[in-house]
Amino acid sequence: MPSGKLLIAALAVCQIFGAGAVWANDGQCLDLADRLESCEAYSCIFIHPHSGLPTERRIIGLRDGLCKIEEELPNNGLLACAYPMAMRLAVANYYRDIQQGTAPGHGPEQVRRTPTRYVVNDKVVENPLQEAYDSGVCLVTGY
């Protein structure tokens, strides 16, 4: 992979998982957590905090027991996830906590000092999105 594309891919991952950049409570996509929990087909547009451009998030639905979800990334990237049920529920709760300002790295400073924990496959994690990426449940493509 050329070094320019590698840098773009690294930046996209940081935008997804770093300091709540993508999942800020911007008043948009507020039904996402509930729809993800049930894996109900859903699509919403939000303004990406880094690019300032309208960006789509979509839940495709259940396929082979996994909840398929996609999110457009800046510069023609795509985040594609295939969540098993336990991880899907943890991620949905994480999204809710971000919207309420209680997720790690989001909201008031005291929240950042006392992180919320989530359980994914009997493993305690602070960020189930990062766990999904690290475990290959979510993949970034297009860079």
Beta bridge partners of residue 58, listed in sequence order:
43, 70
79 touches 93 (CB < 8 A): no
Cβ neighbours for 100, distance < 8 A, ≥ 6 positions apart: 25, 107
Q: What is the pLDDT of residues 86-143, one digit of tens each?
A: 999 999 998 888 777 765 555 444 444 455 678 777 788 888 989 999 999 999 999 8
Beta strand extents in 35-141 (DSSP E only): 42-47, 54-63, 66-73, 77-83, 118-120, 123-125, 138-141
CA 114 to chain centre: 21
Its pTM stands at: 0.71
Interatomic CA distance for residues 66 and 24, integer angstroms: 26
pLDDT at 72: 93
